[in-house]
Amino acid sequence: MLSKLFLILFSLFFLVLSVNAQNETSIEIRKVVIDAGHGGRDPGAVSANGKVFEKDITLSVALLLGNMIKLNYPYVDVIYTRDSDVFVRLDKRSEIANKSKADLFISIHVNAAKSRVASGSETFVMGADKTNSNLEVTMLENSVILLEGEDYKSRYEGFNPNDPESYIIFSLLQNAHIEQSLTLASLIQQQLGQGPIRINRGIKQAPLVVLWRTSMPSVLVELGFISNINDLKIMSEKRNQEKFANLIFNAFVQYKNKYDKNYSNAIDNNLRNNNETIKSSIVDSSNNIVSNPQHNKSQTTHYRIQILSVNKEISTKSREFKGHRDINHIKQGNTYKYTLGQYNSIEEARVNLREIRKTFPQAFIIKVENNKIVPL
Ligand SMILES: [Zn+2]
């Protein structure tokens, strides 16, 4: 009896250990595939007047999102499944992600429905849709396959996008990355709910071919409905496309902060600034004015919180800063790094960072000496 109890306790101990190990899993996020839905001869959903194509909105938002990631995380590889108006097969899109061993796959789309009142954003992760409640969008997004030519059946294991029976195979599928995919989907929906189209239709599971074939956490975002007159107007404007990209970027940052523990923002910044410090110290040595650098250092070393990095100067009253007043910037090369606060210790900066990240999720701590950013 006692030995039985011991055995139970023993296995419980290992169960707890393995759960803990899972929770602490840190995934590196070094490669992101951004997939602009449709393209070329496949316009995707089209507005009622025939003038606005899904493929153009998705490409614009995808490129803007990619630029934001590249600018803020120079070491993260951004790979596009297309960066121009060309047709790319669904299996090719997931193949690009799989072959490059990407850590994340974000597919951007625009919705359409027969009902003109349907409005809002939704984010899909791969999964069986047992109630068929998402069948309309599923068939719409998967029907691209029919444009790929007659041999599509051999490429997709006999799958016919227009035959509901075909979808049965998906109910048997296990999704190895479901937890991370759901996390990202949820962060994206939280962000999009604050955006130009505020109706949040939530996270959904559907057997979308482009997600089925990817072997990493992957989501498919439907920004809004081209069939709805208000959504259409909003999505057609460039400034709103920038907002959509920015909101998805915020979700990416939150996701990265959650999972990529090895490469926290502070370390990112450290890596980046190492190179920049080397460059600036070469310039400084030619006009060597500072007689006692050690003394000087103690007077001017402090910490700030960087909230934005852009390649042009912007007014501190800009809406980008969401009403904050103590905005400063440091120019490094062609980049303007906008910061909040000035703290004597890193601990003090950390306390404030928690609060500031509620408004600027991408914020991180930097160390400043003589108005230059130095490694932490
Ligand atoms: Zn689409």
Q: Provide the pLDDT for residue 172.
A: 56
Are 226 and 324 members of one domain? Answer: no
Please state at what angle helix 54-72 crosses helix 238-259, rounded to 10 degrees. 50
Give a yes or no: residue 229 inside a domain: yes
Distance 102 CA to ligand 1 centre (A): 22
Distance 43 CA to ligand 1 centre (A): 9
Are 128 and 75 members of one domain? Answer: yes
Distance 278 CA to ligand 1 centre (A): 46
Distance 141 CA to ligand 1 centre (A): 5
Distance 86 CA to ligand 1 centre (A): 14
Neighbouring C-beta atoms of residue 277, cutoff 10 Å: 16
In sequence order, which residues have a C-beta less than 8 Å from that of residue 182 and are 6 or more positions away? 125, 203
Give dist(CA 301, CA 342) in Å, integer.
10
Are 149 and 56 members of one domain? Answer: yes
Q: Provide the pLDDT for residue 131.
A: 66
Q: Which of 35, 74, 76 is nearest to 54 (CA)?
A: 35
Is the CB of residue 135 less than 8 Å from the CB of residue 164? yes
In sequence order, which residues have a C-beta less than 8 Å from that of residue 122 and are 6 or more positions away? 111, 189, 201, 202, 203, 204, 221, 222
Give a yes or no: residue 286 inside a domain: no
Give a yes or no: residue 16 inside a domain: no
Distance 246 CA to ligand 1 centre (A): 20
**b/e 29-52 (16+ beta carbons within 10 angstroms → b):** bebbbbbbbbbeebebbbbeeeeb
Give a yes or no: residue 39 inside a domain: yes
Beta bridge partners of residue 149, listed in sequence order: none
Distance 72 CA to ligand 1 centre (A): 28
Is the CB of residue 38 less than 8 Å from the CB of residue 210? no
Distance 210 CA to ligand 1 centre (A): 11
Are 362 and 253 members of one domain? Answer: no
Please give the structure tokens belonging to residue 19: 């759960």
Q: Provide the pLDDT for residue 168.
A: 63
The domain that contains 163 carries what CATH number?
3.40.630.40
Are 197 and 298 members of one domain? Answer: no
Are 242 and 270 members of one domain? Answer: no
Is the CB of residue 179 less than 8 Å from the CB of residue 127? no
Distance 73 CA to ligand 1 centre (A): 28
Distance 213 CA to ligand 1 centre (A): 16
Distance 175 CA to ligand 1 centre (A): 22
Distance 258 CA to ligand 1 centre (A): 29
Give a yes or no: residue 183 inside a domain: yes
Beta bridge partners of residue 305, listed in sequence order: 340, 365
Are 269 and 237 members of one domain? Answer: no
Q: Which of 279, 246, 234, 182 is nearest to 52 (CA)?
A: 234
Distance 180 CA to ligand 1 centre (A): 22
Distance 93 CA to ligand 1 centre (A): 13
Distance 41 CA to ligand 1 centre (A): 13
pLDDT in tens, 112-141: 999 999 999 999 998 776 666 777 888 888
Are 229 and 309 members of one domain? Answer: no
DSSP 345-367: SHHHHHHHHHHHHHH-TT-EEEE
Q: Provide the pLDDT for residue 25.
A: 59
Neighbouring C-beta atoms of residue 108, cutoff 10 Å: 25
Are 237 and 315 members of one domain? Answer: no
Distance 74 CA to ligand 1 centre (A): 29
pLDDT in tens, 198-234: 999 998 888 888 888 889 999 999 999 999 999 999 9
Give dist(CA 96, CA 118) in Å, integer.
33
CA angle 316, 69, 214 (to 5 degrees): 155
Is the CB of residue 75 less than 8 Å from the CB of residue 53? no
Please give the structure tokens belonging to residue 261: 């523990």
Give a yes or no: residue 207 inside a domain: yes
This prediction's pTM: 0.65
Distance 226 CA to ligand 1 centre (A): 10
Distance 184 CA to ligand 1 centre (A): 19
State the total domains in the chain: 2
Please give the structure tokens belonging to residue 356: 């500031």
DSSP 67-122: HHHHHH-TTSEEEES-SSS----HHHHHHHHHHTT-SEEEEEEEE--SSTT--SEE
Host domain of residue 369: 265-281+294-374
Are 273 and 237 members of one domain? Answer: no
Q: Provide the pLDDT for residue 192.
A: 96
Distance 111 CA to ligand 1 centre (A): 6
Are 302 and 190 members of one domain? Answer: no
Distance 44 CA to ligand 1 centre (A): 5
Residue 39 per-residue DSSP state: B
Give the residue ranges of the chain where pLDDT is below 50: 1-24, 264-299
Q: Provide the pLDDT for residue 18.
A: 39
**Which parts of 217-346 are beta strand (E)?**
218-225, 302-310, 327-332, 335-343
Q: How far, CA to CA in Å, does 11 sit from each of 5, 7, 19, 40, 374?
A: 10, 6, 12, 57, 49
Beta bridge partners of residue 340, listed in sequence order: 305, 327
Distance 313 CA to ligand 1 centre (A): 36
Distance 82 CA to ligand 1 centre (A): 14
Are 306 and 346 members of one domain? Answer: yes
For the four alpha carbons of 142, 144, 148 and 151, in that order, the dihedral sign comes to positive
Distance 110 CA to ligand 1 centre (A): 5
Token pair 């700030």 is found at 304
